[in-house]
Amino acid sequence: MKNEQQFVKSKQRVADHGEVFTQPREVNAMLDLVKEETERIESRFLEPACGTGNFLVEILRRKLAVVERKYKNNQFDAERYSFLAVSSMYGIDILMDNVIECRNRLLEQYTDWYTALYKKTYKEEQLIAIEFLLHLNILWGDALTLETPEATPKPIIFSEWSLVSSTQVQRRDFTLDMLLRSQPMEGDNLFSDLGEEAFIPTPIRTYPLCHYLEVANESVH
Ligand SMILES: C[S@@+](CC[C@H](N)C(=O)[O-])C[C@H]1O[C@@H](n2cnc3c(N)ncnc32)[C@H](O)[C@@H]1O
């Protein structure tokens, strides 16, 4: 099959993990079903079996295109809105090499975009902050158990990033289990048939506010 290598790494991986990557045409067609969301800078996306990031890369491309169109003449705004764009994208994969490849692809894509836009004025701290976001948002985990796939599993923990002023970011950590229990399912709340109120997730940790360019320094585990 033409381009087979690109979409299948090995027969063993297909058999063990169902690893067949989605082609760009299908990625685009599926994302077009939620086009408005893919073009909203702060819309949150979680890809629970992200592989090397075929969907996330296209979502980031769309979001950065919006940032560029709206803010390219103001570097400060382009920087903080592109931080917001990356901070709202999440991925999980059970294979660590895919997780690393996914993070690297997204970082390279961001770096190419940012340094091309601000050739002489780009900031190294911006790239460090983006790398840190990707390190925490694209995780090695089992999307079925919601835990890490290791001998002693740990809960998958995602960070929520909120820009609370033009430069200050609030980081709050939640277990994925807690986040999913709070999500409505197809217009219905998971707990609605039990007659309970909507479930509001509780963070397992709330960090002090910090400048978004300093998240990597301030958010030490
Ligand atoms: C069909 S591929 C799709 C990859 C990517 N979403 C794409 O469309 O190109 C499925 C991916 O799911 C991962 N995977 C399989 N079981 C998983 C699980 N329980 N939790 C998380 N990821 C899993 C595999 O490693 C593989 O990368």
Report if residue 149 sits inside a domain: yes
Other Cβ atoms less than 10 A from the Cβ of 37: the count is: 13
The residue with greater pLDDT, 191 or 131, is: 131
d(CA 172, CA 14): 36
The residue with greater pLDDT, 189 or 107, is: 107
**Number of domains observed in the structure of the chain:** 1
118: containing domain: 21-218
d(CA 219, CA 206): 10
Say what the pLDDT of residue 219 is.
Answer: 59
Report if residue 6 sits inside a domain: no
Report if residue 123 sits inside a domain: yes
d(CA 184, CA 126): 34
Say what the pLDDT of residue 87 is.
Answer: 97
Q: Is the CB of 98 under 6 A from ligand 1?
A: yes
Q: Whose CA is nearest to atom 19 of ligand 1?
A: 142
Q: Tell me what the pLDDT averaged over the chain comes to.
A: 90
Residue corresponding to tokens 């940012």: 114
CB 141, CB 149: distance < 8 Å: yes
Say what the pLDDT of residue 195 is.
Answer: 52
Report if residue 16 sits inside a domain: no
56-72 tens-digit pLDDT: 999 999 999 999 999 99
Report if residue 9 sits inside a domain: no
Distance 105 CA to ligand 1 centre (A): 16
| Least trusted range by pLDDT, from 36-40, 81-85, 118-122, 216-220 | 216-220
Strands 138-140 and 188-189: unpaired
CB 91, CB 176: distance < 8 Å: no
**Structure pTM?**
0.91
The angle subtended at Cα 88 by Cα 115 and Cα 138, nearest 5°, is 85
d(CA 11, CA 20): 10
Q: Is the CB of 94 under 6 A from ligand 1?
A: yes
CB burial of residue 28 (10 Å; 0-12, 13-18, 19+): middle
d(CA 160, CA 171): 6
Q: Which residues pair with 210 in a beta bridge?
A: 169
What is the average pLDDT across 127-134?
Answer: 98
Report if residue 25 sits inside a domain: yes
Q: Which residues are within 8 A (CB) of 123 and not within 5 positions of it... i.e. 6 or more apart?
A: 79, 213
Report if residue 132 sits inside a domain: yes
Report if residue 14 sits inside a domain: no
Q: Is the CB of 142 under 6 A from ligand 1?
A: yes
What is the average pLDDT across 98-119?
Answer: 98
